[in-house]
C-alpha cells in the first residue's frame, strides 16, 4: 500500500517507488511540476514525497468518454463537485460530461459553464459534450461550431439519452463536425422500435411481461450510421454498444475502413437481464442489460479492439427515482467508482486483456476520441503527470452509501470486487492518496490563452 513518508504539502514533487508500469517491471516514477520528470530504477528522491508503489500498478489516468454529471439542473442527483470526486476516486483524470443537463448543453454558454464548474472543483478535467440538436429535440442542429470555438473547445457532440434518429439530421451532423475535427457520439436507439421499452426483449421479458427493447433497435441505427459516416467521410462514435449484433456491425465497418469507434459500459460487460427478474429498478438502464451471449461478445470485442473504449455512462439518480415500480423508475446506474474494478474482474482477471490493454481502452483511446492532448499519454518523462496507482490484489465490497457520488443506484451493491485505486495524480497533483480523497488541483485564474498556461498551474 502506498504510504506518505514525508509531509505532502512541502514540495509538490512525488517519487513513486517500485510500481509496475502498465503491469510491467517495477520502476520509479518522479512527478514534479505537473509532469513526469523521470522514470527508471533507484531514482533520487531529492526532497520529493516518497510513495511506496510496491505491488501497485501505474497507469495513465483514466478518461471517461461518457459521464452524466447532472449539473446544471439536477443538482439533487449529482453536482460537478460530487461527480468529479467520484471520478477521481475511481481513477479518472478526465471525464466527458454529457449534454443532457437542464438547460441542455447546446450553446457555448452552457458548455463554458460546465467547464468552469469543473475547473472550480479541480478533481479531474471536465470536458463538456455538446448537444447535436437544440434541446436534444432532434429537429435542428445546435450551434456546434460555437461550442467547438468556445473556451470549452468541444469536440464530442451527442444527444445521449436520445437517438439522433432522423437520418438527414444525422448525416448533416456528421458532415458538419468535420469542420473542427469533431465526432458525433450516437445513442443508438430506434425510437419507434423502443416505445415504452423497459428491458431487453427476449426470454426474460416474455416471462416478466415488461415491454421489450429489441437488439435490432440498436443494431439498425448503428448499421445506418456507419454507412452514413462512410458516405460523408466523417468520424462516428457509438455510445454504449450492448449487443452481439452491434459488435458484428462495428467489426464489419472497421474492416471496410469506416472511421468508427465504439464504447462499452462496465455493466454491460458483466450483468445480464436475468437480474431484472427481481424487478429491482437498480438494474434498469438504457440500453438495457442483455443476455450472457451479448456479454461474452462484448468482452471479446473489447479484447480484440472492435470495441475501442470503456465508458461508464455514470448516471446517478435520486433514490426516489428508483424506489418505485419498475416501469416508473429512471434508467441508469452509477459507474465511476466501480469501473476499474469491474473491468479488472471481467477483462483482466479472466485473462482477456492485460494492464496495457486496460490503459488503451480506459485512457489512451478515449483521450484520442475526445482530442484531449494532455490525457492518455505514455508514462514517459516530459509527459503530463496524469497517473494512477492501482492495487490489483485489493478486494472490497461495494457499499453505495459510502460512495462520493450522490447516486445510490449501483447495480454492484453488495458484490465483492477486485482492484482498488490507491492514488490519482491529476496534473501532477494527488487528488487521491491512500485510496481516499486528498485535495483538488487548483487551476490558475483563467486568462485569454488559459488552456496552455493552466496545464502548468500550481500542482
Partner 1 sequence: MKHLLATEDLGYADAIRILDTAEEMAAVGDREVKKLPALRGRTVVNLFFEDSTRTRISFEAAAKRLSADVINFAAKGSSVSKGESLKDTAQTLAAMGADAVVIRHWASGAPHRLATTDWIDAAVINAGDGTHEHPTQALLDAFTMRRHWSKLAGTPSAGADLQGMRVAIAGDVLHSRVARSNVWLLRTLGAKVTLVAPPTLLPVGVEQWPCTISYDLDETLARGVDAIMMLRVQGERMNASFFPSTREYSRRWGFDDNRLRSLERLGLKDTIIMHPGPMNRGLEISSAAADSPRSTVLAQVRNGVSIRMAALYLLLSGDTREPATNSTKESH
| Active-site amino acid positions | 313
- Residue 344 CB, shortest distance to partner 1, in Å, is 31
- Quote the strand ranges of 297-415, DSSP E: 309-310, 387-397
Tell me the β-bridge partners of 390: 57, 421
Residue from the set 120, 137, 203, 356 that interacts with partner 1 by CB under 8 A: 203
Segment near partner 1 (CB under 8 A), from 194-202, 330-338, 395-403, 441-449?
194-202
Q: Does 278 bind partner 1 (CB under 8 A)?
A: yes
State CA 166 to chain mean position distance: 26
User: Would you say 413 and 439 are in contact if contact means Cβ atoms under 8 Å apart?
Assistant: no
Measured CA distances, 95 to 50, 148, 373 (Å): 28, 17, 14
Segment near partner 1 (CB under 8 A), from 150-158, 177-185, 206-214, 351-359?
206-214
- Secondary structure class of 93 (helix, strand, coil): strand
- Residue 210 CB, shortest distance to partner 1, in Å, is 5
- Left (φ > 0), alpha (ψ -120 to 50) or beta: where does 88 sit? alpha
- Residue 148 CB, shortest distance to partner 1, in Å, is 41
Residue from the set 120, 137, 179, 206 that interacts with partner 1 by CB under 8 A: 206
By C-beta, is 214 or 305 nearer to partner 1?
Answer: 214
Tell me which residues in 110-169 interact with partner 1 (CB under 8 A): none
Q: Does 179 bind partner 1 (CB under 8 A)?
A: no
HSE toward the beta carbon, residue 389, CA cutoff 13 A: 32
Q: Does 293 bind partner 1 (CB under 8 A)?
A: no
- CA gap 164, 59 in Å, rounded: 35
Q: Does 324 bind partner 1 (CB under 8 A)?
A: yes
Report the first-to-last Cα separation within the chain, whole angstroms.
23
Q: Does 280 bind partner 1 (CB under 8 A)?
A: yes
By C-beta, is 291 or 410 nearer to partner 1?
Answer: 291
By C-beta, is 120 or 327 nearer to partner 1?
Answer: 327
**Continuous H helices in 38-166:** 80-89, 108-121, 144-149
- Residue 334 CB, shortest distance to partner 1, in Å, is 20
- Residue 206 CB, shortest distance to partner 1, in Å, is 3
Residue at grid coordinates 464530442: 156
Q: Does 320 bind partner 1 (CB under 8 A)?
A: yes
Dihedral sign for Cα atoms in the order 413, 63, 364, 178: positive
By C-beta, is 102 or 328 nearer to partner 1?
Answer: 328
Q: Which residues lie below 8 Å from residue 449, measured CB to CB, with a gap of 6+?
A: none
97: number of Cβ within 10 Å: 28
Tell me which residues in 209-238 interact with partner 1 (CB under 8 A): 209-210, 212, 214
Segment near partner 1 (CB under 8 A), from 134-142, 245-253, 318-326, 413-421?
318-326
Residue from the set 103, 193, 326, 368 that interacts with partner 1 by CB under 8 A: 326
- Residue 322 CB, shortest distance to partner 1, in Å, is 11
Q: Does 393 bind partner 1 (CB under 8 A)?
A: no
Q: Does 5 bind partner 1 (CB under 8 A)?
A: no
Query: Residues in contact with partner 1, total (CB under 8 A)?
Result: 23
- CA-nearest of 370, 336, 361 to 264 is 361
- Secondary structure class of 51 (helix, strand, coil): strand
Length of the chain: 459
- Residue 325 CB, shortest distance to partner 1, in Å, is 4
- Residue 239 CB, shortest distance to partner 1, in Å, is 24
By C-beta, is 107 or 194 nearer to partner 1?
Answer: 194
- CA gap 63, 361 in Å, rounded: 9
Segment near partner 1 (CB under 8 A), from 32-40, 317-325, 429-437, 451-459?
317-325
Residue from the set 208, 275, 300, 394 that interacts with partner 1 by CB under 8 A: 208
By C-beta, is 94 or 199 nearer to partner 1?
Answer: 199
Q: Is the peptide bond before 188 cis (omega within 30 degrees of 0)?
A: no
The CA angle 342-343-347, to the nearest 5 degrees, is 125
- Secondary structure class of 7 (helix, strand, coil): coil
Measured CA distances, 199 to 290, 299, 323 (Å): 8, 21, 17
Taking residues 55 to 94 in sequence order and writing x for each that binds partner 1 by CB under 8 A, - otherwise, the string is: ----------------------------------------
- Residue 409 CB, shortest distance to partner 1, in Å, is 15
Buried b or exposed e, range 142-172, using 16+ CB within 10 angstroms: bebbebbebbbbbbbbbbbbbbbbeeebbbb
Q: Does 325 bind partner 1 (CB under 8 A)?
A: yes
Segment near partner 1 (CB under 8 A), from 99-107, 324-332, 408-416, 448-456?
324-332
| Chain contacts with partner 1 (rule: CB under 8 A) | 198, 201-210, 212, 214, 278-280, 320, 323-328
Amino acid at each position: 500500500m502506498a504510504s506518505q513518508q514525508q509531509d505532502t504539502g512541502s514540495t509538490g514533487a512525488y517519487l513513486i517507488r517500485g510500481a509496475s508500469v502498465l503491469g510491467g517491471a517495477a520502476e520509479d516514477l518522479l512527478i514534479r511540476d505537473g509532469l513526469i520528470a523521470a522514470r527508471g530504477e533507484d531514482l533520487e528522491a531529492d526532497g520529493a514525497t516518497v510513495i511506496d508503489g510496491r505491488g501497485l500498478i501505474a497507469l495513465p489516468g483514466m478518461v471517461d468518454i461518457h459521464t452524466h454529471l447532472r449539473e446544471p439542473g439536477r443538482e439533487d442527483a449529482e453536482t460537478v463537485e460530487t461527480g468529479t470526486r467520484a471520478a477521481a476516486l475511481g481513477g479518472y483524470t478526465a471525464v466527458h460530461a454529457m449534454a443532457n443537463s437542464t438547460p441542455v448543453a447546446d450553446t457555448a454558454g452552457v458548455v463554458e459553464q460546465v467547464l468552469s464548474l469543473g475547473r472550480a472543483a479541480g478533481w479531474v478535467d471536465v470536458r463538456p459534450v455538446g448537444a447535436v440538436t437544440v434541446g436534444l429535440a432532434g429537429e435542428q442542429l445546435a450551434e456546434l461550431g460555437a461550442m467547438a470555438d468556445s473556451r470549452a473547445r468541444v469536440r464530442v457532440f451527442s444527444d445521449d439519452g436520445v437517438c439522433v434518429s432522423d437520418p438527414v439530421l444525422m448525416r448533416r451532423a456528421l458532415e458538419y463536425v468535420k469542420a473542427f475535427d469533431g465526432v458525433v457520439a450516437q445513442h443508438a436507439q430506434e425510437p419507434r422500435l423502443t416505445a415504452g421499452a423497459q428491458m431487453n426483449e427476449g426470454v426474460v421479458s416474455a416471462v416478466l411481461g415488461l415491454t421489450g427493447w429489441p437488439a435490432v433497435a440498436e443494431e439498425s441505427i448503428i448499421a445506418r450510421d456507419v454507412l452514413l459516416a462512410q458516405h460523408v467521410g466523417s468520424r462516428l462514435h457509438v455510445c454504449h454498444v450492448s449487443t452481439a449484433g452491434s459488435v458484428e456491425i462495428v467489426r464489419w465497418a472497421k474492416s471496410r475502413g469506416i472511421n468508427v469507434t465504439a464504447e462499452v459500459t462496465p455493466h454491460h460487460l458483466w450483468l445480464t437481464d436475468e437480474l431484472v427478474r427481481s424487478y429491482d429498478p437498480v438494474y434498469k438502464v438504457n440500453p438495457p442489460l442483455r443476455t450472457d451471449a451479448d456479454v461474452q461478445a462484448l468482452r471479446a470485442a473489447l479484447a480484440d479492439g472492435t470495441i475501442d473504449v470503456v465508458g461508464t455512462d455514470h448516471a446517478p439518480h435520486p433514490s426516489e427515482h428508483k424506489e418505485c415500480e419498475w416501469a416508473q423508475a429512471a434508467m441508469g446506474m452509477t459507474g465511476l467508482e466501480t469501473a476499474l474494478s469491474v473491468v479488472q474482474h471481467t477483462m483482466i482477471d479472466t485473462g482477456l486483456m492485460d494492464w496495457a490493454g486496460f490503459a488503451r481502452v480506459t485512457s489512451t483511446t478515449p483521450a484520442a476520441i475526445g482530442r484531449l492532448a494532455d490525457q492518455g499519454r505514455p508514462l514517459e518523462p516530459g509527459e503530463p503527470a496524469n497517473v494512477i496507482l492501482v492495487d490489483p490484489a485489493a478486494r472490497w465490497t461495494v457499499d453505495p452509501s459510502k460512495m462520493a457520488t450522490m447516486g445510490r443506484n449501483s447495480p454492484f451493491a453488495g458484490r465483492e470486487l477486485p482492484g482498488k485505486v490507491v492514488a490519482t495524480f491529476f496534473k501532477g497533483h494527488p487528488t487521491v492518496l491512500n485510496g481516499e480523497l486528498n485535495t483538488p488541483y487548483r487551476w490558475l485564474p483563467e486568462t485569454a490563452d488559459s488552456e496552455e498556461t493552466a496545464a502548468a498551474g500550481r500542482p
